[in-house]
Amino acid sequence: MFPLPPTLLDRWRRRNWRPDAQTAQYADQARVTVITGASEGIGRALAGEFARAGHDLLLVARSSDQLAAVAAELSPAGVKITTLAADLATPEGCEAVEAALTNAGAYCDVLVNNAGIGMGGPFASQSRSDLMRLADLNMRCVTDLVRRFLPGMLSRGAGGVLNVASLGGLIPGPQQAAYFASKAYVLSLSEALARETAGQGVRISALMPGAVATKFHARMGAEHAYYLNLTGVMSPEQIARAGYRGFRRGQRLVFPGILHHLNAIVLRTLPHWFSVPVVGWMLRQRQAG
């Protein structure tokens, strides 16, 4: 079957959309793609993909210096890039994102929820404050930002949300229990909202990377865990390219690469009584050698 032209695809995606009383207010505002956790890793690579595709960007992270470096790196793309240093693990950080758009006379056309942290080791040995910060950044922040910007997308019948989840969201993860659980939340939320908004012109996708060649694993003491060798490690750029393509196509779940598809099938097929102990063995923190 030949693919439909983009115009017909767009019409199909908006088959149930009707303008409402709020739609006209966006006519004179600028469209902006908001990317959180944009200072490094997958977020930085996604910023490059969206910039090269002509999206004006609002890049959000805690480090203003790193954000400035990313903006300078992307400046040849010829798009307008604004940066915001904010701690999204706090309600004030999410409020600052919305305020930055309002002050710029812009609206969030595409929201990329990439900001997140991981924690390795036994749950009972982890500090309560660190666990609460993980929950705030990985789950509350995602929920907060989607709720702030999704109504406007639905009113316009355009735009979308790309949530960076994980293959870990498909299964419990002993030794990274809170992190895997937080990604299960992101995955479930994304799939549910994609169903709720179907036919209203809004794309909602969950990007499902596995192990990534970044500092992420070292930060939670898992740089020598077996899963890095057994599941395949991809570069942030590879994952970002697949994520952007999948989002543009309207895929609800975006698996970057054949190996990730196969891993997902295995994780969804094997019973938990077998797979969870194996995953726990793979995730266990180990010393070099």
In a domain, 161, yes or no: yes
Which is more confidently placed, 278 or 130? Answer: 130
- Tokens encoding 198: 């179907």
So what's the pLDDT on residue 187? 98
So what's the pLDDT on residue 287? 54
User: Using an 8 Å Cβ cutoff, are 202 and 157 in contact?
Assistant: yes
SS3 104: coil
Identify the band that residue 2 occupies on the pLDDT scale cut at 50, 70 and 90: very low
SS3 content of the chain, % helix, strand, coil (to 5): 55, 15, 35
Q: List b or e across 170-209, with b for residues whose CB sees 16 or more CB atoms inside 10 angstroms.
A: bbebbbbbbbbbbbbbbbebbbebbeebeebbbbbbbbbb
User: Using an 8 Å Cβ cutoff, are 281 and 226 in contact?
Assistant: yes
Distance CA 21, CA 153 (A): 13
**Closest of 137, 208, 204 to residue 171, by C-alpha:** 208
Residue 127: CATH number of its domain: 3.40.50.720
Only one residue has tokens 């969030």, namely: 108
In a domain, 232, yes or no: yes
Residue 220 confidence (pLDDT) above 80: no
User: pLDDT tens across 234-254, in order?
Assistant: 899 999 999 999 999 999 999
User: pLDDT tens across 101-158, in order?
Assistant: 999 999 999 999 999 999 999 999 999 999 999 999 999 999 999 999 999 999 999 9
Identify the band that residue 87 occupies on the pLDDT scale cut at 50, 70 and 90: very high
Q: Which range has the worst mean pLDDT, 17-26, 54-63, 85-94?
A: 17-26
User: Using an 8 Å Cβ cutoff, are 176 and 284 in contact?
Assistant: no
Catalytic residue among 179, 226, 227, 244: 179
In a domain, 86, yes or no: yes
In a domain, 36, yes or no: yes
In a domain, 9, yes or no: no
Distance CA 239, CA 257 (A): 8
Which is more confidently placed, 30 or 285? Answer: 30
Question: Is there a catalytic annotation at residue 179?
Answer: yes
Angle between helices 177-196 and 141-156 (to 10 degrees): 10
Identify the band that residue 12 occupies on the pLDDT scale cut at 50, 70 and 90: confident
In a domain, 159, yes or no: yes
φ, ψ for residue 207, nearest 5 deg: -85, 130
- Percent of the chain residues topping a pLDDT of 70: 89
Which residue type does 238 have? Answer: Q
Domain that holds residue 201: 29-283
Say how many domains are in the chain: 1
In a domain, 15, yes or no: no
* Arithmetic mean of pLDDT, 161-165: 98
Identify the band that residue 10 occupies on the pLDDT scale cut at 50, 70 and 90: confident
Q: Is the C-alpha dihedral spanning 204, 183, 68, 147 positive or negative?
A: positive
* Arithmetic mean of pLDDT, 35-54: 97
Mean pLDDT, the chain, whole residue set: 90
Identify the band that residue 1 occupies on the pLDDT scale cut at 50, 70 and 90: very low
In a domain, 103, yes or no: yes
Residue 204 confidence (pLDDT) above 70: yes
Which is more confidently placed, 213 or 289? Answer: 213
Distance CA 38, CA 96 (A): 16
∠94-65-234 over CA atoms, to 5°? 80
Q: Is the C-alpha dihedral spanning 145, 147, 148, 152 positive or negative?
A: positive
∠110-114-116 over CA atoms, to 5°? 150
